[in-house]
Structure formats: C-alpha cells, structure tokens
Chain A
Amino acid sequence: MRALTWQGVNELSVETVPDPGIESPTDVVVRVVRTVSCGSDLHLLGGYIPFMRAGDVIGHEFVGEVVEVGADVRRHRVGDRVVVSSFIACGRCWHCRHEEFSLCDNTNTNPDITEALWGFAPGGCFGYSHAMGGNAGSHAEYVRVPMADVGAFRIPDGVSYERALFASDTCSTAWTGVDLGGVRPGDTVAVWGAGGVGQMAARIAQLQGAERVLVIDRVPERLEQVRTQVGAEAIDYSTQHVGSELLEATGGRGPDVCIEAVGMEAHAPGPDYLYDQVKQQLRLQTDRPTALREAIYQCRKGGTVFVLGVFAALADKFPVGAMMNKGLTVRGAQMHGPRYIPRVLEHMERGDLVPDHLATHVMPLEDAPEGYRLFKDKQDGCVRAVFTP
C-alpha cells in the first residue's frame, strides 16, 4: 500500500509499504477513506517530539471501511463505515473504566519513554511516535485498529465520511477540554488558537451553554471562520490587546474557563516569543508555552485553565504564582475518544456540530507532503489538509 512516512526533520515522503493485517483477535483492518493533518503532527515534523524513526507512518485522525475483522471483535463487521479514536484504549483497565481512555494502562508498548519523561505512561496513539506506542499511522491506504470494539465507532447513516472524519480527534479532543474544563451554562469561555480543535472547542462550549465565547489567533482566515462558521467572537492578537479585550468582554472579571488549544509551538508578538523560540531551538526547553502563560494570566480568579494543546516535556517561566494566588484549576488531557465520539456523532447527525469547513484542502495521499507544507506554512488559507488514499 501507499503511506505517508516521516523521513527526518521537515521531510516527508509517500512510500510503498506492506499492508497491515490482523495481529490480534481484537483487531480490525480499516481501508482509510479520509485522513487529516493535525497541528500536533507539526511537532513530529519539526523534530520537537524526538521519538520518530525514519520510515514511520504518521497520521491519527481518520475514517474508513472495515475490510477485515479479528475473531473476537463483536461490534464491527466487514463493510462497516467507522470513525476511529486517535488514542487506543483497552476499555478494561482502571483508567478506561473511569472513562480516562487516553490514560489506558495497556496500549502503550513503550512505556519506558514516557515514564521517564512524565512519571507515568499514557496510552498508545496512532502514528504519533514510539513514545506513544509505535502504532502505524492513518495516512495510508489501510490501518490496523487494535482493540477495535473500544475505539472504532460505526458512523450513522446520516453522517458523511467528510463530517465524521473530525469526530476521530478534532471534535472529541475539543469536547474533552470543554467537559473537563467544567464549562457551564452562562460561562464566558476564551479559547487560544483558532485551528480545528480551537474552533470546535468554541462551538462545543456554545453547545454546553457558554454565554460568550472568544477565540484568540492571528491568522485572518481562521478568525473569519470563527466569526462566520462557529458564531463566536474573534480576537486578533497581532492587532488587538488581548488582555483589555477580555477584560472589556467580561466586565473586568476575566474568562471563567480558558482553553489553550495551541501547544508547544506557540507564536506571539513581543520579546517573550523570541525568548521562548531561542530557548526551544537551543533545546534548553522543549516547549514554547506563550499561549499557556497568557491563558493563566488572563483567567479570572478561581477559574479554570484547560491545556488541550500538545506539550512535550518542559517549559520555562511557568506562571505558578498566578496559578496559586488566583486559586486556579489547571488541567490538561489528551483526548478520551470513546467517551466523547458517540455524542460528537449524535450532534453531527443533528446538524448542530458541523466541522466541514475545516477541510480547506482535500487532496490525494500522493500529494500529502505538499498538503503538510501548506498546512505548516498556513498558506492558501489552509486550516486542515484532508487526504483521500
């Protein structure tokens, strides 16, 4: 089959690789119909998550058709249209029983790496480095889905592949942040980052009853999507003062919930960005937490900051004083796919969660390196590049 492979820092290529097959009775094999780039892939591409080997297949957000089923699979049959959670979960450990599916005890095959980095290992993920289990990614014609009864979900007849694609990771990640961030009716929610996850976090916050939602970014096309597709307010940090805009919008209180959907390669105007960039490039810190710092600073007293953006390890100048003295709750998580995908699909079917506009570029898998170039450089209005193997 053909697959998009990581070959080195900033180097991708489409190669011919062996087809996957059933390795365990709980596996299914999916023929990938659509698979999409994610901002977190850029951290792999740029070498910021240094646990890739040349030749690894990347990609973790996908939909497709079941073409092969293991003997112990009960919920799926050949021919099913499925959307698959980007994180792989066993469904039977303590964390899965408590719906913390991305923290699964049994699906990361290299727990030593993340135990050394973070103290304990989260679960495995498709196409996201050997630190996250070494599973082949979805930017390919076929992908093996381990423990498929837990992580794969049949797509309702009324939902297209094009729409269901974003239930795989984007919308379920966003729902993780809104739910665990504790968004309640009447809240004012600020979201840093107007990429796919940020936009969907804004939309889902609205669905959860947030009265006012503001999204902060600098890319004009994305801010326009925030206004026209999501119906939230947009703040352009390159031309507007974020702090004063948020104070004005909240009567001087600050947002109740701040969702950081940017991650370790944040941009910002001003010297703090330069400081972070230099330290990151010299490998004196792994992450640029510019947006996270701002979220913590701007959050109201007693509010909640939720970290949805991907961070690797260590960041400098963390505002621990603001966190402590303002009585903040700071949480973070990777996506708990099986907990949220069913309700995401319900809302997609109902038509009140519509992420279709994120697919600004749809192209054959053979063009995926070019798709990633457009995505990374934010050229041609690219918000997400979707590949059709």
Chain B
Amino acid sequence: MPSPRRSSPSTGGRWAPALVGLVGVGGAAVATARAVRSARPSPRPDRWHAVTVDRPLEEVAAALSLSGGTSGRPSGTLGAPLVELGDEVRVDLREATGDHGTELRARAAGQAGGGPALEGRIRAALRRTRSLLETGEVAQPDDLGTTRRTLTSLPLELAIRHGREAGRL
C-alpha cells in the first residue's frame, strides 16, 4: 500500500491556521448569524413551521392521508416522518401562491409550543416529508468513515448532527 503523501502549500496567509484554531471557525460564521438574530424578537412559540411541496394540494393530501382531508394526523407512507411525531403535532395543507404547489405546515399541538427539541423534530420531519413527496427518497451524505475529530471540528460536528433539525424553517 502506498504511503500517504502530504503537502503544505506555501502561500495563503500564515496567520490563517492559528486564527482558525483560535476562533473555532467551524461554527463561528453560523454562530454570528444566529447571534444577530437572537438580538431580535423571538418567533412565536406556537408558530407554524412550513415547507412548500412542488405538487398539487390534492396529490399531497392523498399521499399523506390526513385525517381531516387537508388537516389532522397523517397516516400515509410518504408522511412517515410526520406520522412518527404522533399527537405532538398538528399538520395542515394549503395551496401555495403562484405555481409553487402546496404549503405543508406543522406545529406543536400544545398552546405553548413544544420547545426546541420538538421544533427540531418538526423541521426534520417536514424536510424529509417534502423530499419523499417530491423524489421518493431522502438524500444521505456519504459516510466513508474517514473523518476524524479535531478540536476545531466540534462545533461543525454539532451542526451536522442536527443538519435537518436546525435552520430557519
């Protein structure tokens, strides 16, 4: 087996590696953006989380088999990510503007919202459901098992672990 060859290109800022370590850059840019937002009013705890699905409302309603037609509990296979949330969430559909298809919305069933953990699960379920409805699958990253943990990668690892749960949705 050939031995690994390494290279350290010489140009490109000698300060950069040290600063990368100092700043913990993996999540710094994201953290900055979040910090800016956190200085503003928080979203309502009972707000709807939503994705728009590029399919007609009737098609989405049929695929999700919502108990109330365009709202209620889903039971269809393609709605499995939402089905898994059970009675914790309310789901409804409405036509999107223009040619955008259908707005698929979900929120915690309780008046006070479900807290960050449930909100994260709702976001992930909505993203997965949209992907299933549009493509029949949910894309997965490659995991060749070659990555290794470093000090500066910890914030990034956290972001990846919650890749579909976090975000603005």
Contacts and interface: CB of A to CB of B under 8 A. Distances in A.
B77 to A, nearest CB: 16
B127 interface: yes
Contacts of A13: 4-7
Contacts of B5: 13-14, 366-367, 369-370
Interface string B107-134: 0000000000000000000010011001
Interface string B8-49: 111111011101100101101110011000000000000000
Contacts of B169: 111, 115
The 4 closest A-B pairs by CB, nearest first: A369-B7, A134-B141, A112-B166, A110-B163
A9 B20 contact: yes
Interface stretch (A16-24, A74-82, A186-194, A239-247): A16-24
A372 interface: yes
13 contacts: A12-B7, A18-B144, A23-B140, A45-B12, A48-B16, A57-B142, A92-B134, A97-B54, A110-B141, A112-B166, A120-B168, A130-B141, A130-B159
Interface size class of A (residues with CB under 8 A): 35 or more
A5 interface: yes
A282 B141 CA distance: 32
Interface stretch (B57-65, B66-74, B81-89, B147-155): B147-155
B135 A46 contact: no
B157 A53 contact: yes
Interface string A46-64: 1110111111110000000
A5 B146 contact: yes
A17 to B, nearest CB: 5
Contacts of B146: 3, 5, 15, 17-18, 55-57
Contacts of A9: 16-17, 20
A288 to B, nearest CB: 11
A112 B29 contact: no
The interface centre, meaning the residue of A10, A13, A120, A286 with most chain B CB atoms within 10 A of its CB, is: A10
B164 A109 contact: yes
Contacts of A130: 141, 156, 159-160, 163
A144 interface: yes
A149 to B, nearest CB: 11
Nearest to A107: B139
A10 to B, nearest CB: 5
A12 B101 CA distance: 45
A12 B6 CA distance: 6
Interface string A91-118: 1111001000000011111111101110
Contacts of B149: 54
A215 interface: no
Given A90-B135, A107-B139, A53 B163 contact: no
Contact of A51 (B15, B99, B156, B162): B156
A94 B33 contact: no
Nearest to A88: B139
A122 B134 CA distance: 16
Contacts of A12: 6-7
A373 interface: yes
A7 B54 contact: no
A46 B25 CA distance: 12
Nearest to B30: A116
A124 interface: yes
The interface centre, meaning the residue of B12, B28, B52, B152 with most chain A CB atoms within 10 A of its CB, is: B12
B73 to A, nearest CB: 24
A11 B9 CA distance: 8
Nearest to B17: A9
A119 interface: yes
Interface in A275-290: 277, 280-283, 286
A136 interface: yes
A112 B29 CA distance: 12
A90 B53 CA distance: 13
Contacts of B54: 92-94, 97, 105
B33 A116 contact: yes
Contact of B134 (A25, A46, A90, A113): A90
A201 to B, nearest CB: 25
A312 B25 CA distance: 13
Contact of B29 (A17, A133, A134, A286): A286
A376 interface: yes
